[in-house]
Amino acid sequence: MTLTLNYVSILVSDMARSLAFYRALGLPIPPAADASQGHVEISVGGLRIAWETEALMQELHAGWTRPAGAGRIGVALQSDSARGVDEAAARLRAAGHSVPEPYDAPWGQRYLTVTDPDGAAVDVFAWQSGHGAAD
């Protein structure tokens, strides 16, 4: 049996705020996505990405409580160029988010780590010439 990653769910406290963040980051979330719903889902490169509210989790799972502490999973988005990483940082800054400067990582990637509105770490990277997938 072969398993394929098909779905990633991001738990959010405020759907509109989270969708705005991920749109600014560059994910293709349609403007018509209904932020009043407890679940919004898109497909990118065959991977389904969903945002689900804490209120929905409470409704679906009796006794559910909000997680405490750091996230348990990391999300990384690959750009096709180092410039794309810098542009993602600029879009987030323009939308009012605090964003560190991207950097050239010693493992051959242009790299940025940002925090979404609920505290989840999101990495944005691009392979640089002579390293990894860019070869």
pLDDT tens-place string over residues 16-72: 999 999 999 999 999 999 989 999 999 999 999 999 999 998 988 888 888 877 666
Pairing outcome for strands 7-12 and 75-78 = unpaired
Give the pLDDT mean for 79-101.
96
Beta bridge partners of 20: none
- What's the pLDDT tens digit per position in 106-135? 999 999 999 999 888 899 999 998 766 544
Q: What is the pLDDT of residue 135?
A: 44
- Mean pLDDT for the chain overall: 90
pTM (predicted TM-score) = 0.84
Higher pLDDT pick, 84 / 74: 84
Domains of the chain, start order: 7-134 (3.10.180.10)
Give the pLDDT mean for 83-87.
96
Helices (H), 71-118: 82-94
Give the pLDDT mean for 60-85.
85
Q: What sign does the dihedral 59-61-62-67 (CA atoms) show?
A: negative
- Contact between 26 and 88 (Cβ < 8 Å): yes
Q: What is the pLDDT of residue 124?
A: 94
Residue the block writes with tokens 């996230």: 71
Q: What is the pLDDT of residue 134?
A: 45
Q: If we measure between CA atoms, which residue out of 132, 75, 70 comes closest to residue 105?
A: 132
